[in-house]
Amino acid sequence: MFRATIFFLAGVISYLVTGWLVTAPAWFRSLDLPNARSSHTQPTPRIGGLGIVAAFVIILPLLWVMLIGASRNWLLATKFGFALLSYVIIAGVGLVDDLRRIGPLAKYLGQLVAALIALWSGVTFLYLHIPFAGQFEIGAIFAAALTILWLTGFSNLFNFMDGIDGLAGGAGVIYSLALAAVSIGTGHRLIGAGCLMLAAACLGFVAHNFPPAKIFMGDVGSLFIGYVLAAFATVTSNSGERPVPFIAVLLIFGTFLYDTIFTLIRRARRGERLWEAHRSHLYQRLVIAGQSHRRVTLTYYGLSIALGAGGVIYTFAGNLVGDSAVDWLRILILLGSILLLAAFTLYVYWYEIVVQRAKQAFASEAPAEVAEG
C-alpha cells in the first residue's frame, strides 16, 4: 500500500508542478512561438517537463531507501548518487536550451558529461546481444563507447519525437510500464519501481499536454525521459541473474526508434542534410496531411502498446511455451512487429496520396464552379 502511495505521489507532484508552470510568469516558463516547422499555432509554455523531473528527483531516493535500505555499502550508495546526478545534468542541459537556446555542440557536450557520469556509476553495456545466438562479452572501451552512443542517441531521439501534443508524454507512460514489467519479472526490482514512478510522473504531465495541449514538455522533459529510459534499459539488460534481452528493449521502444531511423534513411536517400531541422517524421507527415494531433497521438499509443506487449512476451517466452517452441514464438513476435510497422508506413503513404488527390480534385473543380457562377 505504501509503495502504491509513493507512485501516486509522483503523479501528483508532476501534475501540480506542471499545472503551476502553465500559469507561471512568462519570463520563467518560456513560451514556444509558432514557426514554419511548428505543429501548433498559438504561443505555448514549453518547460512542462520540469514537473516530471521534480517528481523523479524527489521520489527516486525514497524508492532507493524502501528497496535497498539505508545501505552501509558506500560504494553502492555513491554510485546511486552519481547516477541521480547524471539524470539532473541531462535535465539541466535541456532546461538551459529551452530558456537560452544553446548551440548543438554545447548541448551534446552536456549530454556527454551526463553519460560519462552514468558510465562511472555502473550504467554500461557488458554484452553484445545477438538474437537467437545469445550474448557475448565485449571489451571495456567498446562497451563505454556503445553506452555513451546509446544514452545520448536515445535521449536525442526522444527529443526529435516530441513534436505534437501528447505524443512523447504518452509514449513515456507506455514505454515505462512495459520496461517495468520486464524488469520486475526478471528480478530488477529497483529499476522496475523506477519505471513505474517515471510512468506516474509522465501521466501527471500528460493530463496537461494531451490534445489540445496547455503546455509543452520542452527539451528539459524529452531529453530527460529518453535518457532515463535508456539508462534503465541498459542496466536491466546487462545485470542480474536474468538480464532482459536487448531485442525486447528495442521492441518496447520500437515506435520512436522506427520512426526516427526510417526518417533518417529516407532523408539521406533524398540527399537532405541530416543535421538540419525538418518536418519529415511519419507522425509529422500525418499531421501535415490533415490528421489531428489527437488522432495521430492515439495511433502511436496503439502501436506502442502492441510493440510493448511484443517485447514483454519476447522476454517471458520461456515461461509461456516449451523450450523447443521459444525461438519460434520469438520469431513470430519479430515478424509480426515488422509487418505492423510496415503496414503503418504504407498507411502514411496511402493517406498522403488520398489527401493529395482530394486537393487536386477540389482545385480542378473550383475554377469550373467559378465559371458557371
Angle between helices 218-236 and 49-67 (to 10 degrees): 30
In the chain, the number of structural domains is 1
Amino acid residing at 12: V
Strand 134-137 versus strand 127-130 pairing type: antiparallel
Listed in sequence order, the residues at least 6 apart from 245 whose beta carbon sits closer than 8 Å to its beta carbon are: 129, 131, 237, 314, 315
Specify the pLDDT at position 226. 98
pLDDT of residue 26: 65
Per-residue model confidence (pLDDT) at position 27: 58
Using 70 as the pLDDT threshold, list the residues of the chain that sit under it.
1-2, 25-42, 69-73, 363-373
Q: At a CB cut-off of 8 Å and minimum separation 6, what does 41 contact?
A: 34
pLDDT at residue 87 in the model: 97
For cell 554545447, the residue is 106
**Cα–Cα distances in Å, from 281 out to 41, 218, 344?**
19, 18, 13
What would the grid cell of residue 252 be? 518496447
- Cβ atoms of 172 and 222 within 8 Å: the answer is no
**Per-residue buried b or exposed e for 338-368, using 16+ beta carbons within 10 Å of the residue's own CB:** eebbeebeeebeeeeeeeeeeeeeeeeeeee
pLDDT in tens, 158-189: 999 999 999 999 999 999 999 999 999 999 99
Give me the pLDDT at residue 258, please: 98
Amino acid 42: pLDDT? 67
pLDDT in the model for residue 29? 60
User: Please, are residues 47 and 30 in contact by the beta-carbon 8 Å criterion?
Assistant: yes
- Only one residue has cell 545466438, namely 133
pLDDT score, position 199:
97
What angle (nearest 5°) sits at the alpha carbon of residue 52, between those of residues 48 and 57? 135
Domain that holds residue 256: 2-372
